[in-house]
């Protein structure tokens, strides 16, 4: 699932007439980068949630997308939160809304982060599916705009994610990249309170669910050391063009 429902307030005026996932980096919309990376990994059935100017996203990518570099064709199904409820449902609410369209285990990545060298591998998917974890997160070194980070990590790879207040004194803390594998049951009762399909359109953030699962020891994590940018401001978008 690619998350593409945000309003992108901090990106205004760029997002006044275009949803943030359609802003371009090196000639390609932001959302196209993870879409094609998923296809290269063999994950070709994708759900995209939308809200702000969501019809433009569907018009740009349609029901099928084939990359110019020959990556496998991707089938796309849309969960139009804006059309159905008049607003975005936040991360957990949006995933719960799309849950009937997703499998027992699935990837999630935000359509407005730029991680050009992240590889969505079948081995990572299978390893997580065989575990007893509810979620597996990819963390990144803290960017300048988020120095405190989101989580600690016990173990260098496939370790247990830790809440910040549980991180060892002086221990390294990391930022959540938005890239993760989830088990369907992470969002279902008793872990999540929203019925699959979220028929009432309840807006719910992801962080409380993650904190509860972390406290139960059901979330693993590892560090992605490659390039990663949360494209949250016009300045960060401009910096990517300079870097390219």
pLDDT at 165 over 60: no
| Model pLDDT for residues 73-100, shown as the tens digit of each residue | 899 999 999 999 999 999 999 999 999 9
Q: How confident is the model at residue 234 (pLDDT cuts 50, 70, 90)?
A: confident
Other CB atoms within 10 A of residue 98 CB? 25
Q: How many domains does the chain have?
A: 1
Task: Tell me which residue of 229, 239, 237 sits closest to 179, measured CA to CA.
Answer: 229
Lowest mean pLDDT among 107-121, 125-139, 221-235: 221-235
What is the DSSP code string of 185-208?
GGSSTTT--SPTT-TT-----SHH
> What is the C-alpha separation between 176 and 140, in angstroms, rounded?
6
pLDDT at 107 over 60: yes
The residue that leads in pLDDT, 170 or 59, is 59
pLDDT at 204 over 80: yes
Mean pLDDT across the chain: 89
DSSP letter (8 states) at residue 227 = -
Burial annotation 53-69 (CB, 10 A radius, 16+ → b, else e):
bbeebbeebeeebebee
> What is the C-alpha separation between 29 and 57, in angstroms, rounded?
10
Q: How confident is the model at residue 129 (pLDDT cuts 50, 70, 90)?
A: very high
The residue that leads in pLDDT, 189 or 181, is 181
pLDDT for 7:
81
Could you identify the residue written with the tokens 């300045």?
235
Contact between 171 and 160 (Cβ < 8 Å): no
Strand-pairing partners, residue 110, are 3
The encoded tokens of residue 221 equal: 């994590």
pLDDT at 105 over 90: yes
The residue that leads in pLDDT, 226 or 8, is 226
Which CATH number do you get for residue 92? 3.90.550.10
Other CB atoms within 10 A of residue 5 CB? 29
> What is the C-alpha separation between 57 and 80, in angstroms, rounded?
10
pLDDT for 154:
76
Contact between 189 and 107 (Cβ < 8 Å): no
Could you identify the residue written with the tokens 């029901």?
63
Residues 6 or more apart in contact with residue 199 via CB below 8 angstroms: none
Q: What share of the chain is helix, strand, coil (3-state, %, to 5)?
A: 30, 25, 45
Domain hosting 84: range is 2-243
> What is the C-alpha separation between 222 and 128, in angstroms, rounded?
12
pLDDT for 77:
97
């Amino acid at each position: 699932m690619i998350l593409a429902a945000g309003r992108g307030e901090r990106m205004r005026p760029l997002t006044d007439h275009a949803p943030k996932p359609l802003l371009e980096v090196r000639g390609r919309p932001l959302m196209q980068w993870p879409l094609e990376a998923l296809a290269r990994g063999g994950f070709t059935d994708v759900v995209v949630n939308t809200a702000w100017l969501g019809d433009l996203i569907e018009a740009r990518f349609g029901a099928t997308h084939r990359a110019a570099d020959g990556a496998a064709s991707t089938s796309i199904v849309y969960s139009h939160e804006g059309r159905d409820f008049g607003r975005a449902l936040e991360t957990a609410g949006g995933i719960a809304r799309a849950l009937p369209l997703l499998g027992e285990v699935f990837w999630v990545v935000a359509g407005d982060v730029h991680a050009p060298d992240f590889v969505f591998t079948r081995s990572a998917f299978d390893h997580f599916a065989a575990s007893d974890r509810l979620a597996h997160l990819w963390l990144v070194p803290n960017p300048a705009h988020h120095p405190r980070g989101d989580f600690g990590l016990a173990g260098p790879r496939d370790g247990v994610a830790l809440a910040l207040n549980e991180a060892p004194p002086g221990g390294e803390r990391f930022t959540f990249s938005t890239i993760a594998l989830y088990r369907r049951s992470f969002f279902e009762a008793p872990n999540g309170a929203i019925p699959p399909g979220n028929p009432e359109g309840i807006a719910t953030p992801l962080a409380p669910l993650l904190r509860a699962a972390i406290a139960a020891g059901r979330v693993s994590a590892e560090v992605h050391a490659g390039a990663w940018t949360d494209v949250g401001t016009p300045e960060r978008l401009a910096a990517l063009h300079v870097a390219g």
